[in-house]
């Protein structure tokens, strides 16, 4: 089916002087599967169908809502003076639209892949092309009647694997020549087999004197420069480098490559693509040939959900004003950000690299960790100006409702405290009325099946996930947006009550001294970088950046005597523990072994008996001492789950899952 959704549609539907501003101009549906999920039916909503295709759009570079896109004026225009883009999409919708809830759940994909579906639906694995009945998980979103939308926005997402990609223009100089400029790459090596490093953009020159390769093992180490004879470009196109002789990069090392790149893409167009597709699904009825909008009437309310990287994208989406469409209307009604941290994304820049993410160990030199860190608009003495993500949407009255939900790892690996503490180290108490913040105590950034065993870490990785709480929060978001029901109050660690503290000394942070478990307080520091005088325009001229100082507080959640976090939302596994769960772990690779193990936490099991605990000099009570019988453990889990349900942080179906899981366990037997 072909839907040629033209500008005329918007002129008809949105009357007034700004009516002809809709920017989705064409939707091609290349594949329909009806029913999908092998015909599985979801409660009263029934069966679903899947539509896959490509969206064509264009934006006006002169519009104030688009002019903020870095290099948009250097994007080659079409015959109408517009800048064109194309993006993949997938729709999963009720076959009978009258049985749906007429609300759209729009996942902002992660590097082109579908992840939040796994989070909200307990799908067994990430899947960019869900087909089987099992791909729907337990069907939470479908049972509630949502239509689902997935699309591309990340220009760095690799094609293939069913990933959702976007095609955006390459910026050029006014005379048509290639734009060149400095770019930075980092290669984080955790093996002995990597022999080449791909470059995000091709080198502008084969002259190696215009580039510099350095190596270090930790962020604070003095970099060691490799001589020009020690490396080379791996191909004639200058899209990768290698060490001399093709020898492998060193295990545990961080390599930084600074070079003159060319052909930057106008990556910020991806923000406009999210805006325009969401706006179109809500507003358009038919195209100029009479073909219907595939989601007509099914997007009366729009929520976005995301996991990690795209949540940082949503931070910048709101900050840069993209929640106001080109007709001045609100685009997204509610945003559920899971593990987005406090910062934005390296997207709206020349030579953007949106796949990058700061951790304590990696990618510390890229322009992600920069103010504003808060939704509220306030003075930031470190940058000597007033900043805040909500400034633009407050001015246009287009702010969405926002849930900021983060794990303990965001505090350790990304200095999450900057979202709630000022530069003087005092709690911020002026949270905006449209925002709530929740801390998932003792959770890692990545848990679940992909976080078993030690991997590159010193200890077994933390498997805990926030899925059940995220489902309850989506229900709370829906009730907040559609009924005005106040959501659960924010729950985060605070300086004032002693639950947000410096990582050192260990006694002050509260983490117990456990034999065989190293604790060094390693965490992301509150740094301020200078990228040059044009950084606010998205053009970085100082690479590597100059470290101005470390003006922002670096604080972490305080733990109880077991090493589990005190504040925030404590899952039943944390409130009634069988182990210590943390949001941090340490690297096991000998080189740089005392650095953080990126996005993983750790699980350190309790001793089974008192005798075992005493023999190991373990200060934590054993399972035998905590739960004298199985019924005690089951009752304790049930009480913890029911308390979360009372606070609207757990749904009844998930309470029952927790109780059954406890009943099936061997704890206390």
- Tell me: the pLDDT tens digits for 373-424? 999 999 999 999 999 999 999 999 999 999 999 999 999 999 999 999 999 9
In a domain, 204, yes or no: yes
Strands 401-407 and 334-338: parallel
Provide the 3-class DSSP secondary structure of residue 116.
Answer: helix
Task: Measure the CA–CA gap between 519 and 125, rounded to whole angstroms.
Answer: 33
Number of domains in the chain: 2
Residues 226 and 290 in one domain: no
Give Cβ neighbours of residue 169 (< 8 Å, ≥ 6 apart). Answer: 75, 76, 83, 84, 85, 265, 266, 269
The closest of 29, 26, 47, 51 to 38, measured between CA atoms, is 47
Residues 25 and 164 in one domain: yes
Last residue in a domain, options 262, 282, 308:
262
Provide the 3-class DSSP secondary structure of residue 133.
Answer: helix
Burial of 177 (0-12, 13-18, 19+ CB in 10 A): exposed
In a domain, 395, yes or no: no
Q: What is the mean pLDDT of the chain?
A: 94
Residues 131 and 109 in one domain: yes
Collect the ranges in the chain with pLDDT lower than 70.
1-22, 286-291, 592
Note the pLDDT of residue 10.
41
In a domain, 347, yes or no: yes
Note the pLDDT of residue 20.
39
Please, how many CA atoms are within 13 Å of residue 326, restricted to the half-sphere of its CB? 27
Alpha-carbon distances, residue 169 vs 55, 72, 172, 267, 397 (angstroms): 15, 9, 9, 8, 31
Tell me, what DSSP letter sits at residue 399?
P
Residues 124 and 212 in one domain: no
Residues 293 and 243 in one domain: no
In a domain, 213, yes or no: yes
Task: Measure the CA–CA gap between 80 and 664, rounded to whole angstroms.
Answer: 65
Note the pLDDT of residue 592.
66
Rounded percentage of the chain residues whose pLDDT exceeds 90? 91
Domain limits at 118? 1-171+264-326+343-357
In a domain, 564, yes or no: no
Evaluate whether 116 touches 338 at the Cβ level (below 8 Å): yes
Residues 111 and 33 in one domain: yes
Residues 68 and 202 in one domain: no
Evaluate whether 325 touches 276 at the Cβ level (below 8 Å): yes
Angle between helices 269-283 and 309-319 (to 10 degrees): 80
Note the pLDDT of residue 8.
36
In a domain, 82, yes or no: yes
Angle between helices 467-483 and 630-646 (to 10 degrees): 20
DSSP of 252-294, one letter per residue?
T-EEEEEEEEE--B-TTHHHHHHHHHHHHHHH--B-TTSPBPT
Q: Where are the beta strands (DSSP E) in 588-660?
A: 602-605
Residues 292 and 205 in one domain: no
In a domain, 34, yes or no: yes
Residues 54 and 151 in one domain: yes
Residues 254 and 268 in one domain: no
Task: Measure the CA–CA gap between 107 and 424, rounded to whole angstroms.
Answer: 37
Give Cβ neighbours of residue 114 (< 8 Å, ≥ 6 apart). Answer: 107, 126, 127, 128, 130, 150, 164
Evaluate whether 3 touches 28 at the Cβ level (below 8 Å): yes
In a domain, 614, yes or no: no
The closest of 383, 353, 381 to 367, measured between CA atoms, is 353
Note the pLDDT of residue 11.
35
Note the pLDDT of residue 179.
98
Evaluate whether 234 touches 117 at the Cβ level (below 8 Å): no
Task: Measure the CA–CA gap between 22 and 255, rounded to whole angstroms.
Answer: 45
Note the pLDDT of residue 284.
85
Last residue in a domain, options 220, 236, 262:
262
Task: Measure the CA–CA gap between 496 and 509, rounded to whole angstroms.
Answer: 15
Residues 59 and 200 in one domain: no
Helical H segments across 290-415, by residue range: 309-319, 391-396, 408-414
Task: Measure the CA–CA gap between 174 and 171, rounded to whole angstroms.
Answer: 9
Evaluate whether 70 touches 350 at the Cβ level (below 8 Å): yes
Last residue in a domain, options 244, 262, 280:
262
Token pair for 216: 């270090």
Residues 130 and 268 in one domain: yes
Token pair for 124: 């067994």
């Amino acid at each position: 089916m072909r839907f040629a959704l033209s500008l005329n549609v918007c002129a008809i539907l949105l009357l007034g002087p700004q009516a002809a501003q809709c920017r989705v101009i064409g939707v091609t549906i290349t594949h329909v599967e009806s029913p999908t999920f092998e015909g599985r039916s979801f409660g009263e909503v029934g069966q679903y169908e899947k539509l896959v295709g490509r969206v064509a759009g264009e934006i006006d570079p002169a519009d104030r809502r688009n002019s903020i896109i870095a290099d948009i004026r250097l994007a080659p225009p079409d015959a109408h003076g517009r800048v064109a883009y194309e993006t993949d999409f997938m729709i999963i919708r009720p076959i009978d639209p009258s049985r749906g809830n007429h609300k759209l759940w729009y996942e902002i994909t992660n590097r082109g892949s579908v992840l939040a579906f796994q989070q909200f639906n307990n799908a067994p694995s990430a899947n960019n092309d869900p087909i089987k009945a099992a791909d729907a998980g337990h069907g939470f979103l479908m049972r509630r009647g949502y239509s689902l939308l997935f699309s591309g926005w990340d220009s760095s997402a690799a094609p293939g694997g069913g990933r959702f990609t976007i095609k955006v223009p390459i910026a050029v100089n006014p005379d048509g020549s290639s734009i060149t400029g400095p770019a930075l790459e980092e290669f984080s090596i955790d093996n002995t087999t990597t022999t080449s490093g791909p470059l995000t953009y091709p080198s502008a020159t084969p002259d190696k004197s215009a580039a510099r390769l350095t190596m270090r093992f930790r962020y604070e180490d003095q970099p060691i420069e490799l001589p020009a004879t020690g490396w080379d470009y791996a191909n004639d196109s200058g899209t990768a480098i290698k060490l001399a002789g093709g020898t492998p990069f060193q295990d545990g090392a961080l390599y930084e490559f600074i070079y003159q790149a060319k052909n930057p893409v106008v990556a910020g167009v991806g923000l406009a693509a999210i805006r325009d597709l969401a706006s179109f699904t809500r507003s358009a009825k038919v195209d100029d040939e009479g073909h219907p909008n595939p989601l007509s009437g099914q997007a009366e309310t729009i929520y976005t959900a995301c996991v990690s990287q795209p949540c940082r994208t949503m931070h910048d989406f709101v900050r840069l004003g993209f929640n106001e469409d080109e007709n001045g209307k609100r685009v997204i009604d509610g945003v559920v950000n899971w593990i987005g941290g406090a910062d934005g994304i390296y997207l709206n820049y020349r030579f953007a690299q949106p796949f990058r993410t700061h951790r304590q160990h990696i990618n510390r030199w890229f322009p992600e960790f920069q103010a504003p860190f808060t939704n509220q608009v306030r003075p930031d003495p470190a940058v000597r100006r007033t900043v805040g993500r909500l400034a633009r949407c407050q001015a246009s009255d287009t702010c969405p409702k926002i849930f900021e939900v983060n794990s303990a790892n965001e505090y350790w690996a990304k200095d999450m405290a900057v979202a709630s503490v000022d530069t003087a180290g005092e709690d911020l108490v002026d949270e905006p009325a449209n925002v709530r913040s929740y801390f998932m105590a003792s959770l890692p950034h990545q848990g679940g099946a992909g976080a078993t065993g030690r991997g590159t870490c010193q200890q077994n990785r933390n498997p805990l996930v926030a899925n059940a709480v995220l489902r309850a929060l989506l229900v709370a978001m829906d009730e907040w947006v559609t009924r005005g029901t106040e959501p659960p109050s924010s729950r985060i660690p605070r300086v004032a009550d002693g639950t947000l503290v410096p990582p050192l000394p260990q006694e002050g942070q509260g983490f117990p001294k456990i034999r065989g478990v190293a604790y060094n307080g390693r965490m992301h520091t509150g740094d301020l970088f200078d990228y040059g005088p044009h950084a606010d325009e998205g053009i970085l001229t100082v690479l590597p950046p100059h470290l101005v100082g470390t003006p922002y507080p670096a604080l972490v959640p305080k733990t109880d005597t077991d090493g589990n976090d005190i504040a925030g939302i404590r899952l039943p596994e944390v409130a009634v523990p069988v182990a210590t769960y943390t949001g941090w772990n340490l690297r096991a690779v000998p080189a740089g072994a005392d650095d953080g193990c990126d996005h993983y936490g750790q699980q350190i099991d309790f001793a089974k008996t008192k005798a075992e605990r005493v023999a190991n000099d373990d200060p934590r009570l054993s399972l035998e001492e905590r739960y004298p019988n199985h019924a005690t453990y089951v009752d304790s889990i049930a009480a913890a789950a029911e308390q979360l349900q009372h606070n609207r942080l757990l749904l009844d179906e998930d309470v029952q899952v927790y109780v059954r899981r406890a009943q099936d366990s061997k704890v206390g037997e």
